[in-house]
């Protein structure tokens, strides 16, 4: 046998052995279907997952429920209660001083007093108040003022309201057409005159005040016998 035939024979034997091994393994694989199904078909595991998903019930945890119940309203109410610091607007205080118009004071008017009983009349300022009373020598008419009183004393003939041993009547100062006796000192002026039945003493207490002395002169000169 030549070398070519030997190579061919060996190749045929090797091919036969490989063919036999192939048939053996094929037969072996077909005889174990369970192992093949387990490896090649994992479907039961895959299909079980989606069937379980719809049946899952998710129960919120208690703390989660509390968090869910907190609504923006609560936060909003807190913001409303926060009062922003407002700087008060200071309005300047304006003090209005009212203009006081002084009351119009009318100057004193001149009043006339007449005594029919004692037979005389006299003018006096309305700023004075008249008081009539009696004294030892007769009647007294006081024309009162806080600055100084003017008085008319009326006595019957033969008596006087005051005593003076040097009473001399003259024409130097005439009142109501009658001669008078005039007595002046620093605080007062006294003038005496007579009628047919009565003696009159006009007394001004002026304390040397010029205004009162002027008023006194007017007061005395206004004296009139009735």
User: DSSP label at 207?
Assistant: T
From the number of C-beta atoms within 10 Å of its C-beta (0-12, 13-18, 19+), residue 16 rates as: exposed
pLDDT of residue 108: 85
Kindly give the confidence (pLDDT) of every residue in the chain, 226 residues in length, as a single tens digit, with 9 standing for 90 and above. Answer: 566 667 777 877 888 888 777 766 676 665 544 433 433 444 444 444 444 444 445 455 444 444 444 455 544 455 555 555 656 565 666 666 666 666 666 788 999 999 999 999 999 999 999 999 999 999 999 999 999 999 999 999 999 999 999 999 999 999 999 999 999 999 999 999 999 999 999 999 999 999 999 999 999 999 999 9
CATH superfamily of the domain spanning 110-225 = Mog1/PsbP, alpha/beta/alpha sandwich (3.40.1000.10)
Amino acid 221: pLDDT: 97
**Alpha-carbon torsion (189, 194, 195, 201), positive or negative:** positive
- Residue pair 120/152 in contact (Cβ under 8 Å)? The answer is yes
* 0.75 surpassed by pTM: no
Is residue 122 within 8 Å of residue 113, measured between CB atoms?
yes
Residues of the chain with CATH 3.40.1000.10: 110-225
DSSP 12-77: HHHHHHHHHHHHHHHHHHHT-HHHHHHHH--HHHHHHHHHHGGG---PPPHHHHHHHH--HHHHHH
């Amino acid at each position: 046998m030549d070398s070519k035939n030997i190579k061919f024979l060996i190749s045929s034997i090797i091919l036969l052995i490989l063919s036999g091994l192939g048939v053996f393994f094929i037969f072996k694989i077909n005889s174990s279907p369970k192992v093949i199904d387990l490896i090649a078909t994992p479907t039961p595991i895959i299909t079980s997952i989606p069937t379980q998903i719809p049946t899952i019930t998710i129960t919120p945890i208690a703390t989660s429920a509390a968090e869910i119940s907190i609504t923006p309203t609560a936060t909003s109410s807190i913001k409303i209660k926060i009062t922003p610091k407002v700087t008060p607007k200071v309005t300047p205080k304006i003090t209005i001083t009212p203009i006081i118009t002084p009351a119009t004071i009318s100057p004193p008017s001149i009043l006339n007093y007449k005594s029919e009983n004692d037979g005389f009349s006299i003018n006096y300022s309305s700023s004075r108040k008249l008081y009539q009373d009696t004294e030892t020598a007769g009647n007294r008419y006081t024309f009162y003022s806080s600055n100084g009183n003017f008085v008319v004393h009326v006595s019957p003939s033969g008596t006087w309201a005051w005593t003076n041993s040097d009473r001399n009547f003259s024409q130097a100062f005439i009142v109501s057409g009658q001669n008078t006796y005039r007595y002046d000192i620093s605080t007062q002026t006294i003038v005496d005159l007579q009628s047919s039945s009565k003696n009159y003493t006009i007394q001004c207490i002026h304390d040397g005040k010029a205004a009162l002395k002027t008023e006194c002169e007017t007061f005395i000169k206004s004296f009139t016998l009735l």
